[in-house]
Amino acid sequence: MLFYALKRLIYVLPVAFGVSVVCFLLVHITPGDPLTAVLPVDASAELQAQMRAIYGFDKPLPVQYVIWLGKVLTGDLGTSIATGRAVLTEVSRAVGNTLILSAVATIIGFFLGCLFGFVAGYYRDSAMDRLASTLSVLGVSVPHYWLGMVMVIIFSVQLNWLPATGAGPGGSAEWAWDWDHIRHLILPAVTMSVIPMGVIARTVRALVAEILSQDFILALAAKGLTDRGIFIHVVKNAAPTALAVMGLQLGYLLGGSILIETVFSWPGTGFLLNAAIFQRDLPLLQGTILVLAMFFVLLNLLVDVMQTALDPRIQRG
């Protein structure tokens, strides 16, 4: 098991290098000048050249990449053009808030998705199967930013039950595990959980239906195993795939939360990315994308190792 984990870790290194190259190039091929955020409209050519030299934009792209990668490996993601603060400081605070939101949304989606999936798989072609399948399809189909606005209108504007924006009282960006902050988490977390709930429900439904039709289930029932025992066997066989889907959905939520965080003004990486894009803040954009991409790579590695721990046949394969 340890050897397999080390082997998978070695495989991650070239992937991480490729991710760093893509992150660096993507923000450079976009049109526009990032220095327009800090330079006045009537800036002289000398001032523009000086600022380009300060931020390293006067060097060829390969040289810029080598310098940037060397700083990244030492933990220096650069300085934000718009705010003048360290990118690592900005990203660290935003990543923490996004992790909290994405983790809670994934847990809600995984629990409801498994519930609907098992119900639909066990009671195939029944009214419960059709209801659970309909809910899962709606979860995947409904635009989550639109759902977020609808939930704000219902639960914040009309019913006045939950706050609509921010991560805490007074628009605070600092998180704390108390009721005042949890109230701000409920609406964005529930909204984000809809898509993973639908994906996991459809996956689990197909898995359970396939497992129940296999010969070993009939053999277990013929031996007199109880329904509870058969259910445990179904869960063990469905768990690795369900876990992999959950890990992928968590990764997608980490990188794809920009619309939800913008709707709810949640101070996470999505909100930070939105600000960096509109301000053309190149260092902040690079640093945020790189951190999110590395989280996704490491999350896939973790899920891969956990799958092997649950089902050793994956390692042999």
Q: Residue 193 is part of which domain span?
A: 94-266
- Residue 81 phi/psi, 5-degree rounding, is -70, -40
Which of 41-55, 223-237, 299-313 tops mean pLDDT? 223-237
Which CA distances in Å does 208 have to 41, 95, 118, 138, 280?
A: 62, 35, 6, 20, 48
pLDDT of 65 over the 50 cut: yes
Whether 278 is in a domain gets the answer no
Paired strand residues for 79 = 86
* Residues across the chain: 317
Q: What is the mean pLDDT of residues 154-171?
A: 81
Contact 241, 310 (CB under 8 A): no
Q: What is the mean pLDDT of residues 242-251?
A: 78
Whether 112 is in a domain gets the answer yes
Tell me whether residue 184 is exposed, middle or buried, using C-beta atoms within 10 angstroms of its C-beta: 0 to 12, 13 to 18, 19 or more: buried
pLDDT of 315 over the 60 cut: no
Whether 132 is in a domain gets the answer yes
pLDDT of 188 over the 80 cut: yes
Whether 201 is in a domain gets the answer yes
Q: What is the mean pLDDT of residues 120-139?
A: 81
Report how many domains make up the chain: 1
Confidence grade of residue 316 (pLDDT, cut at 50, 70, 90): very low
Whether 307 is in a domain gets the answer no
Confidence grade of residue 205 (pLDDT, cut at 50, 70, 90): confident
Q: pLDDT over 90 for what percent of the chain?
A: 0
Q: What is the mean pLDDT of residues 110-135?
A: 83
Q: What is the mean pLDDT of residues 187-193?
A: 89
The CATH number of residue 114's host domain is 1.10.3720.10
Report residue 79 as tokens. 């300085």
pLDDT in the model for residue 312: 61
Whether 288 is in a domain gets the answer no
Confidence grade of residue 41 (pLDDT, cut at 50, 70, 90): low
Whether 19 is in a domain gets the answer no
Whether 59 is in a domain gets the answer no
